[in-house]
């Protein structure tokens, strides 16, 4: 069930590897929820056109922003980028 005010639901995926050990990975049930989850953690962020390249590289290419277990790290990185001197110049 999705709706406003509902927390992001994460499912557990059990992955059997070549060894007898089992790994548990956290995967989102709905990949579109990534944006909502990050907005919940960071609030509204503004990136100037000068910083959009940095934002897209960070958001789409780093481990912190592509693996759900690291989304809190991603939120911190995006927040720091938004308030960095380079991104604050055009405001």
- Cα 47 → chain centroid: 16
- Count of other CB atoms within 10 angstroms of residue 41: 14
Question: Does some domain include residue 24?
Answer: no
**Domain-embedded: residue 80:** yes
What CA–CA distance (Å, rounded) separates 91 from 84? 12
Task: Determine the pLDDT at residue 22.
Answer: 60
Number of domains in the chain: 1
Q: What is the pLDDT of residues 24-78, one digit of tens each?
A: 555 555 667 888 888 888 888 888 888 889 999 998 899 998 888 898 999 999 9
What pLDDT is attached to residue 77? 93
Query: Does 26 reside within a domain?
Result: no
Q: Where are the alpha helices (H) located in the chain, listed in sequence order?
A: 33-42, 52-61, 63-66, 71-82, 85-88
């Amino acid at each position: 069930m999705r709706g406003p005010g509902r927390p992001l639901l994460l499912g557990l995926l059990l992955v059997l590897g070549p060894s007898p050990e089992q790994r548990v990975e956290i995967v989102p049930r709905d990949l579109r929820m990534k944006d909502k989850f990050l907005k919940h953690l960071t609030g509204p962020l503004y990136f100037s056109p000068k910083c959009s390249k940095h934002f897209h590289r960070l958001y789409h290419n780093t481990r912190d922003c592509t693996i759900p277990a690291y989304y809190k790290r991603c939120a911190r990185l995006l927040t720091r980028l938004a308030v960095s001197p380079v991104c604050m110049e055009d405001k």
